[in-house]
Structure 1
Amino acid sequence: MMVVFLILVIIVFVIGSMKFLFEKELGEFHFFSIGHFFVLFYSYITVLLGFSLIYTVCEMGSIPVLSGGFEHEGHYFYTLFNSMYFSAATLFSVGYGDMYPVGIGKLFATFEAFIGYIMPAIFVMRTVTRT
């Protein structure tokens, strides 16, 4: 039950942090600005860390979500490192194949990959369609 609660809290924080992409104004309009780059960078880092925490919480709570490439009986930081690696490979559509999702992890990985595809599209759309 605690694992489900932690996952829901993490999801709420990830969605809340992505609000910058959906705000009406990201600031003063320039075709490209460092501020806009940092908004995109912050959003990617937040999603990456959020999903890696979801994978870590599940693994530490005896809910298998990842397989291959690492031992399951690891220290917390070892599990977190592997979860961050898998999250980055999924979010940036690299997918090396040395680790793969199992069980409920397939749903999380699919959702993360979808976010990884749609975030740059939203960012470009917001930048190009300024009035």
Structure 2
Amino acid sequence: MLYVIGSMIFLCMMMSVWALFTPSGKKDHVFSLHHFFFLGMCYLTIMIGFGAIYLLLDLEGVQILVEDGAPISGTFIEHFFTSIYFSGVTLFSLGYGDVTPVGVGRGVALIESWLGYTVPAAFVVKSFMRPKDDRIS
């Protein structure tokens, strides 16, 4: 069941990132509220998706995050919010250090931080890219 849920989460995140890298086909390619909302939704999808992956791995007994040097303890809700918190600080490259990844969590965190760096660049390119039919040949 873990693999099915994890695959669905991964698919949703990749669809969000794919939408960011593909041209929209709209004629107006300047920064707008629509583009800003799109960027926010893309970030939110990635943050919640990776938080869910951290939580699923934690629920399966894989130690993936430690808080202040000790395994995360508490209720399911506390685990959920800690996973989302860690995902957010990793995606936005803050990295406070109070929650740190261990084991396979380090690789997952690297992928998330890489996406955190590439999403703004892709957003700028998408915002100012002209459709093929508008280009001068």
TM-score by length of 1: 0.90
Q: CA separation in 2, counterparts of 1:52 and 1:28?
A: 35
Moved more, 3-12 or 59-68: 3-12
The equivalent residue for 1:42 is 41
The offset of 1:24, in angstroms, is: 1.8
Q: CA separation in 2, counterparts of 1:48 and 1:38?
A: 15
Map 1:1-131 → 2, pairs under 5 A: 2-25=1-24, 27-69=26-68, 72-130=72-130, 131=135
Q: CA separation in 2, counterparts of 1:41 and 1:87?
A: 15
Count, aligned residues = 130
The offset of 1:10, in angstroms, is: 0.9
Unaligned residue ranges in structure 2 (runs of 5+) = none
Higher relative contact order (CA 8 A, sep 6+): 2
TM-score by length of 2: 0.86
- Change in Cα spacing, 1:42 to 1:86, as seen in structure 2 (3 Å) is same
Which is higher, the Rg of structure 1 or of structure 2? 2
The offset of 1:77, in angstroms, is: 1.0
Q: CA separation in 2, counterparts of 1:25 and 1:43?
A: 14
Q: Percent identity?
A: 35
Give the secondary-structure state (helix, strand or coil) at the position aligned to 1:18.
helix
- Write the letter of the residue equivalent to 1:128: F
- Change in Cα spacing, 1:48 to 1:126, as seen in structure 2 (3 Å) is same
Root-mean-square deviation over aligned CA pairs: 1.7
Give the secondary-structure state (helix, strand or coil) at the position aligned to 2:28.
coil
The offset of 1:61, in angstroms, is: 1.3
Once the two structures are superposed, residues 16-53 of structure 1 have per-residue CA deviations (whole angstroms, 9 ceiling, x without a partner) of: 12332122226341421111011100000000000000
